Structure 1
Amino acid sequence: MHTAHAHRRLALIDLGTNTFHLLIVEMPATPGDKPVPLLRTKAGVRLGEGGISKGIISPEAYARALHTLAGFKEEIELHEVTEIRATATSAMRVTSNGPELVRDIFEQTGIRVDVIPGSREAELICAGIRQAVPLGSEPHLLVDIGGGSVEFIIADEATIFWKQSFEIGAQRLLDQFFPEPEGIMPAAAVAAEQQYLGTVLAPLMAAIEHYKPVSLVGASGSFDSLADMQLGELRTESQLPPHTELRLASFQESYHSLLSSNHEQRVALPGILPMRADMLVVASVLIDFVLGISGIKRIRTSAYALKEGLLAEMLTA
Structure 2
Amino acid sequence: MSIRLAAIDLGSNSFRLEIGRIEGNEIICEHYGKEGVRLAAGLDSNGYLTEEVQQKALDTLARFREKIKDFKPEHVRAVGTQTIRIAQNNKAFLRRAQDVLGFPIEILPGQEEARLVFEGCAHRLPLSDKKRLVIDIGGGSTELVTGSGLHADRCESFHVGCVNLSLHYFPNGEITREGYEAAKLAAMAEFQEGRERFNSTLWDEAYGSSGSMEAICSLAKSFGMDSYTISQERLCEIRDAMIAKGHVDKLDFPDLHRSRKEVITGGLAVLHAACDALNIKSIKFSAGALRVGLLYEQLSRLNGNDLRESSAWELLRYSAVSEAQAKRVDLLAQKLLQRLFPDATEDTKKRLHWAALLHETGNLISHNRFHRLGAYLIEHFDLQGFSINDRHWVSQLVLGHRGRLYKIESQLDNETWAKSLLALRLASIIAHKREDIELPDFSLTQEGKRHWRLSFKDSSWLNKHPLTHFLLQREVDAWKAVQYQFDFEK
The TM-score range, normalised by the shorter chain, is 0.7 to 0.9
Deviation (angstroms), 1:27: 2.6
The residue number in structure 2 matching 1:168 is 160
Gaps of 5+ in 2: 306-490
Q: 1:289 aligns with which of 253, 256, 273?
A: 273
Deviation (angstroms), 1:58: 1.8
Using the size of structure 1 for normalisation, the TM-score is 0.85
Residue 156 of structure 2 aligns to a residue whose secondary structure is strand
Residues 48 and 61 of structure 1 are in contact (CA less than 8 Å); yes or no, is this contact kept in structure 2?
A: no
Query: What per-residue deviation string (whole Å, max 9, x for no partner) do you get for residues 105-149 of structure 1?
Result: 222331210111101101100100101223633333211110111
**Aligned mates of 1:210, 1:130 — CA distance in 2:** 19
**Aligned mates of 2:151, 2:45 — CA distance in 1:** 34
Give the counterpart letter for 1:15 in structure 2: L
1:305 aligns with 2:289: yes
Q: 1:265 aligns with which of 243, 250, 270?
A: 250
The residue number in structure 2 matching 1:10 is 5
The residue number in structure 2 matching 1:153 is 145
Deviation (angstroms), 1:211: 4.1
**Aligned mates of 2:129, 2:253 — CA distance in 1:** 37
Query: What per-residue deviation string (whole Å, max 9, x for no partner) do you get for residues 54-106 of structure 1?
Result: 422122210111000100111223xx433321011111110012211110022
Q: How big is the alpha-carbon RMSD for the aligned residues of Structure 1 and Structure 2?
A: 2.2
Deviation (angstroms), 1:53: 6.6
Residues 293 and 272 of structure 1: CA distance in aligned 2, closer, same or farther (over 3 Å) = same
Residue 137 of structure 1 aligns to a residue whose secondary structure is coil
1:213 aligns with 2:228: no
The residue number in structure 1 matching 2:194 is 204
Residues 309 and 187 of structure 1: CA distance in aligned 2, closer, same or farther (over 3 Å) = same
**Aligned mates of 2:133, 2:21 — CA distance in 1:** 32
1:113 aligns with 2:105: yes
Among the aligned pairs, what percent are the same residue?
Answer: 27
**Aligned mates of 1:279, 1:58 — CA distance in 2:** 20
Deviation (angstroms), 1:306: 0.7
**Aligned mates of 1:210, 1:232 — CA distance in 2:** 29
Which residues in structure 2 correspond to 1:241-256 (within 5 Å)? 245-248=228-231, 250-256=234-240
Residues 35 and 207 of structure 1: CA distance in aligned 2, closer, same or farther (over 3 Å) = closer
Higher RCO structure (Cα 8 Å, ≥6 apart): 1
Give the counterpart letter for 2:229 in structure 1: L
Residues 53 and 175 of structure 1 are in contact (CA less than 8 Å); yes or no, is this contact kept in structure 2?
A: no
Q: 1:68 aligns with which of 60, 63, 67?
A: 60
**Higher helix fraction (1 or 2):** 2
Whichever of the two has the greater Rg, that structure is: 2
Gaps of 5+ in 1: 1-5, 234-243
Give the counterpart letter for 1:11 in structure 2: A
**Aligned mates of 1:202, 1:247 — CA distance in 2:** 22
Q: 1:140 aligns with which of 132, 152, 171?
A: 132
Give the counterpart letter for 1:16 in structure 2: G
Deviation (angstroms), 1:276: 1.6
Deviation (angstroms), 1:11: 1.4
Query: What per-residue deviation string (whole Å, max 9, x for no partner) do you get for residues 219-268 of structure 1?
Result: 111011122223349xxxxxxxxxx72342544433322232222221x1
**Aligned mates of 2:111, 2:104 — CA distance in 1:** 21
Using the size of structure 2 for normalisation, the TM-score is 0.56
Deviation (angstroms), 1:208: 3.2
Deviates most, 88-97 or 251-260: 251-260
Which residues in structure 2 correspond to 1:182-193 (within 5 Å)? 183-184=174-175, 186-193=176-183
Give the counterpart letter for 1:256 in structure 2: D
Residues 143 and 151 of structure 1 are in contact (CA less than 8 Å); yes or no, is this contact kept in structure 2?
A: yes
**Aligned mates of 2:169, 2:9 — CA distance in 1:** 27
Which residues in structure 2 correspond to 1:229-248 (within 5 Å)? 229-232=219-222, 245-248=228-231
